[in-house]
Structure 1
Amino acid sequence: MSRKITFLTLFLWLMTVTFPVIAQQKADTTCIFRFVPQKGMFYVPWKGNDTELARLLEYIENNKATILNGKLPLLVDGYCKSQSSEVKNLATAKIRANRVKSELIIRAKIKEENFITHNHATEGDFVTVRLTVPVKETAVTDAEAEARRKAEEARLAAEPTVAGRREGQKAEAEKTAQQNTLADTPSETKITTDYHLSLRANLLRWATLTPDLGVEWRICPSWGIAVNGSWTSWSWSDKDRRYALWEVAPEVRYYMGEKKAWYLGAMFKAGQFNYKLSETGKQGDLMGGGITAGYQLRLNKVLALDFNLGLGYLNADFEKYEVIDDVRVRRGNETKDWFGPINAGVTLVWKLF
């Protein structure tokens, strides 16, 4: 009987001593934000990041006073291992951690000094934010808060991947799925060339009062077929002066480079003209072709500017004439060959689909 009384007394004493300590312990709350491999952009609605962000903001709001006075820092760990080197992994991890901190600073109205940040070239493609939420509010002096901060920094420096190991295996399992969805995720550098048909208008032709329109069919990102046509008919000085022509110019293009912006092509040109800018007019046919080169400057998702130049050969077979008493009088035939620039354009491209 005496042993039972002694054991019960000892048990009650232990409960009296340990229960207040247990009640003052803190519960770690860790939120994990996923990132696209090799990317530093923080996409809030992606992979459940919006849910984690809402949960973290609620924790911060419930402990905001303690966070702002420096007694409860937010522990931020950035991770990256999808780059080609450790230096690039650490740089990307730093960018990711800063993006998450910026989001919290804006939304939760906290400051940079409320964070303790570490970056790691290991584990996976994510950022963890850990908040040690107190279970029971206890009085903490400034000296104790500073000692706690230093102890936490020392612990993280000695054991840098503790938070990452909790989710490391899960992040590794999801890496393949993340890479498969990368094509559907917004990207900072992705250039779209997946259109099939576009309308074209050579602005240099329009500047000379020669309307010009065309189409281009992109068979694939590297190959395209374009056709441009021009037509105009002007007369003045009681029809004594004349400027009229029409042209059709089909072209095959090969687009080069990662962005498919530079290209080389082959052009054929045919048409008719009627020029009378002096006493003698010239009316006839032209035909030729050559090599083209150019660059397409992307303005937005549907518009681009096409800068191009064509070099080659043109043949013009025409007759000369004069107008006497409103009667056209023929003055002979002539043929001319031209080697050099045969086409130039600053073309506005409108991608239809």
Structure 2
Amino acid sequence: MSRKITFLTLFLWLMTVTFPVIAQQKTDTTYTFRFVPQKDMFYVPWNGNDTELARLLECIENSKATIFDGKLPLLVDGYCNSLGGEAENLATAKIRANRVKSELITRAKIKEENFITHNHATGGDFVIVRLTVPAKETAAMDAEARRKAETERLEAEKRAEQERLAEEQRKAEEARLAAEKAEVEKAAQQNTLANTPSETKITTDYHLSLRANLLRWAILTPNLGVEWRICPSWGIAVNGSWTSWSWKDKDRRYALWEVAPEIRYYMGEKKAWYLGAMFKAGQFNYKISETGKQGDLMGGGITAGYQLRLNKALTLDFNLGLGYLNADFEKYEVIDGVRVRCGNETKNWCGPINAGVTLVWKLF
């Protein structure tokens, strides 16, 4: 009994001392690539194959020198048992192993002589790749991999920070250029408006103007008016005329007064054209021949016109009015300096009732 106890104690001590040494000698690193049953295509993203391939490529990269020297072969085992016969399974297992090797040859530049291949008609539908790496080397590779990963992380953070700073600088430069461009365009627009001919500028910069119809002044009928521009599209104008002339010892006479309010609607992009509605009322006394006429007139109609800007203060207004006028008057003759009534008469007129070339002076 004492011998058995002594032998068991010695055996346990040997296992305690020997197993760590053996464990430190070599470490098997295994990678499994799965295939669709009865198929030989190697689908990398399928069923975790992409993760296994990434791990295997990293391991190969860390041990590439040893692998190329032939000291560390890649053990490739192809398996297939989903077909009908052993020959078919072995053939498919071989193709599967070759597809995995081709992927490694393409990606990691491994050569055919760096592989040891075995094919099996049992087990399942997969390919196993094993590397027998010494434990110390594995630890060194792990440390190197961690160091490399940390270095790559720091470099990635540095690149990200540089890209962020570059993006902020680019946006700031774009904002600066946009502000400069907007300032230049604003200055150019102001300069263009300042140098544009008056008729091309929209009349939005005044509210009240003084008016004088030059045609009325030309026929010795002084005319004045005002216009209130409510907004760029609407305006209200009131024009008035008055004259009183006599000659040949008052045997000849030309006297008139009238008031014509008008509302206008300005059209177009430049607000230069307009349409309006006008009302006219007044009195007259004409004696150009032997018979004189004295009475009242009243009417109204539609006006239309165009305003030509001369400068910031002056505008020429060309207008024409069409409509209806009614004149109710008395006829008279002058005998020995005395007016003698000859009768009454009423006339109606349809057609032009107003025309003008009006000088407009902006007050404010």
**Given that residues 202 and 272 in structure 2 are in contact (C-alpha distance below 8 angstroms), is that contact kept between their aligned partners in structure 1?**
no
Matching residue within 170, 173, 179 for 2:176: 170
CA distance in structure 2 between the partners assigned to 1:276 and 1:240 by the alignment: 8
TM-score normalised by L of structure 1? 0.50
Q: 1:1-353 counterparts in 2 under 5 A?
A: 168-172=174-178, 174=180, 185-188=190-193, 189=196, 191-193=201-203, 194-353=205-364
Counterpart secondary structure, 2:215: helix
Q: CA RMSD in A?
A: 2.4
Higher Rg of the two aligned structures:
2
Structure 1 residues 175-225: Cα deviation after superposition (integer angstroms, max 9, x where no partner): 56767x569833244725220000000000000011100000000011000
Counterpart secondary structure, 1:185: helix
Distance change in 2, residues 1:299/1:172 (3 Å): same
| Count of equivalent residues | 189
CA distance in structure 1 between the partners assigned to 2:209 and 2:267 by the alignment: 19
Distance change in 2, residues 1:167/1:269 (3 Å): same
Distance change in 2, residues 1:272/1:178 (3 Å): same
Unaligned runs of at least 5 residues, structure 2:
1-169
Counterpart secondary structure, 1:186: helix
Letter paired with 2:218: A
TM-score normalised by L of structure 2? 0.49
Distance change in 2, residues 1:183/1:172 (3 Å): closer
Letter paired with 2:176: K
CA deviation after TM superposition for structure 1 residue 258, in Å: 1.1
Distance change in 2, residues 1:275/1:173 (3 Å): closer
Distance change in 2, residues 1:183/1:226 (3 Å): farther
CA distance in structure 2 between the partners assigned to 1:172 and 1:166 by the alignment: 10
**Given that residues 325 and 349 in structure 2 are in contact (C-alpha distance below 8 angstroms), is that contact kept between their aligned partners in structure 1?**
yes
Structure 1 runs of 4+ aligned residues shifted over 6 Å read none
Unaligned runs of at least 5 residues, structure 1:
1-163
Counterpart secondary structure, 2:191: coil
Structure 1 residues 284-320: Cα deviation after superposition (integer angstroms, max 9, x where no partner): 0000000000000100000010000000000000000
Counterpart secondary structure, 1:271: strand
Counterpart secondary structure, 2:290: coil
CA deviation after TM superposition for structure 1 residue 274, in Å: 0.2
Distance change in 2, residues 1:183/1:284 (3 Å): farther
**Given that residues 202 and 269 in structure 2 are in contact (C-alpha distance below 8 angstroms), is that contact kept between their aligned partners in structure 1?**
no
